[in-house]
């Protein structure tokens, strides 16, 4: 009776676990590597331009623009890493 349920659960987990791992990999890469880079670039831009542009950057940060850019770049980096690992495994 529980065999079909167990088979469905294991099939779902085998499908979902790689996607969950990719998500957490993107979050870790984004927070550990790319966010400090964007913060330093943001500070350099703020120091070289006028005070009016600072309000735009604050609004952009409030809307999550820097986080979105960081997540996109880390997703591309992770996709390249996964392709390279897949080719190395064969």
60 inside domain: yes
Query: How would residue 90 be classed by pLDDT, with cut points 50, 70 and 90?
Result: low
The pLDDT tens digits for 38-76 are: 778 777 776 776 666 667 777 877 888 878 877 787 777
Q: Quote the pLDDT of residue 62.
A: 84
86 inside domain: yes
Q: Is there a contact between 30 and 72 (Cβ–Cβ < 8 Å)?
A: no
13 inside domain: no
12 inside domain: no
Domain that residue 74 falls in: 53-90
Q: Quote the pLDDT of residue 54.
A: 67
Number of domains in the chain: 1
Average pLDDT over residues 5-25: 85
Element (H, E) at 75: helix 65-89
């Amino acid at each position: 009776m529980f065999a079909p349920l167990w088979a469905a659960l294991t099939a779902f987990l085998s499908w979902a676990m790689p996607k969950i791992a990719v998500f957490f990999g993107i979050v870790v890469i984004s927070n550990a590597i790319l966010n400090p880079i964007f913060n330093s670039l943001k500070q350099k831009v703020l120091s070289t331009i006028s005070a009016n542009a600072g309000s735009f950057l604050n609004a952009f940060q409030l809307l999550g623009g820097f986080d979105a850019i960081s997540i996109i770049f880390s997703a591309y980096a992770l996709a390249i890493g996964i392709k390279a690992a897949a080719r190395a495994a064969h």
